[in-house]
Amino acid sequence: MEKLIITAAITGAELDKTKCPVLPITPEEQAQAAKEAVEAGASVIHLHVRDEKGKPSQNLQHFKSSVEAIRRACKGNEPIIQFSTGGAVGEKIENRIAPLTLKPDMASFNLGTINFGEEVFVNTFSDMRALNEALQKSGVIPEFEIYDAGHLDNLKKLIREGIVRAPYHCQFVLGVPGALSGEISALNYLVQHLPENSHWAVAGIGKYELPLAVHAIAMGGHVRVGLEDNIFYSKGIPAKSNAQLVERIARIAKELDRPVASVSEARKMLLS
């Protein structure tokens, strides 16, 4: 098995401090959260940013400030930074794509439309093609976000059209209310139907985070955790930080004899 890559989704776009007081929002808070997560074993930071009022933003300057702060805080051991191109539900595709001109290491690539709680997270094929063009123009490596079984078929369609290139880094985001559940059988189905030349990871939402992560570690997949996906350490107990969620995964991986990838090892695995 490959070494385990742990991604920390430190902020997200759908929560604020009223729901999660420890959510990192400012560049300084994000830098501290990223540093602690990297020290705990994360090698990728999935990044959403906020404006001065704490609202989700796709503004270049906000991304720039957070990236600079994270790089400064992690100097010498800089994690892979993966921009969100999903943004907050309802954000226009042009704004979602715009930050790619900053040429992050990676960016998320959402593979289809889903209900997202009471809202709809829209990702049409035309959105995906626009995103793909922007990714290729800026030389940014995509991570394919898969929320539903049909999203794998969407990926296969883009592969058949010859517009996306292997290897395919797939992130199964499971348990979003309105999309595929985080049952282990759902993960098994998705893994069995991956296109050739894929790597995969899983991000379980809420109560699904831990069981899916443990299965992924044992199955040879990779893991995403963080306050974007889950604000609880266990039932009714809020997580103290992103690092606390990462630490637990690193500890379980050690027990399962699955070494955790360093930042430089993850760079070789994902970016070269």
Near ligand KMH by CB under 6 A, which window of 10-18, 21-29, 237-245, 251-259? 10-18
CB of 152 to Zn ion, least distance (A): 19
- The interface partner of residue 172, options being ligand KMH, Zn ion, none and the CB cut-off 5 to 8 Å by kind, is none
Q: How far apart are alpha carbons 38 and 18 in whole angstroms?
A: 26
Q: How far apart are alpha carbons 254 and 271 in whole angstroms?
A: 25
Nearest residue to 107 (alpha-carbon basis) of 119, 98, 117, 116: 98
Would you count residue 147 as binding ligand KMH (CB under 6 A)?
Answer: no
CB of 108 to ligand KMH, least distance (A): 3
- The interface partner of residue 121, options being ligand KMH, Zn ion, none and the CB cut-off 5 to 8 Å by kind, is ligand KMH
Would you count residue 110 as binding ligand KMH (CB under 6 A)?
Answer: yes
Would you count residue 89 as binding ligand KMH (CB under 6 A)?
Answer: yes
Q: How far apart are alpha carbons 186 and 153 in whole angstroms?
A: 15
- CA 135 from chain centre, in angstroms, equals 16
Q: How far apart are alpha carbons 26 and 180 in whole angstroms?
A: 32
Q: How far apart are alpha carbons 198 and 168 in whole angstroms?
A: 5
The one-letter amino acid code at 158 reads L
Q: Is the CB of 38 or the CB of 203 nearer to ligand KMH?
A: 203
Would you count residue 145 as binding ligand KMH (CB under 6 A)?
Answer: yes
Structure token pair of residue 250: 């690193």
Instruction: Return the residue of 24, 41, 86, 182 that touches ligand KMH, per CB under 6 A.
Output: 86
Site for ligand KMH in 207-266 (CB under 6 A): none
Would you count residue 84 as binding Zn ion (CB under 5 A)?
Answer: yes
Near ligand KMH by CB under 6 A, which window of 19-27, 83-91, 196-204, 213-221? 83-91
Q: Are strands 237-238 and 232-234 parallel, antiparallel or unpaired?
A: antiparallel
Would you count residue 22 as binding ligand KMH (CB under 6 A)?
Answer: no
Phi, psi of 42 (to 5 degrees): -75, 145
Residues that bind Zn ion (CB under 5 A): 84
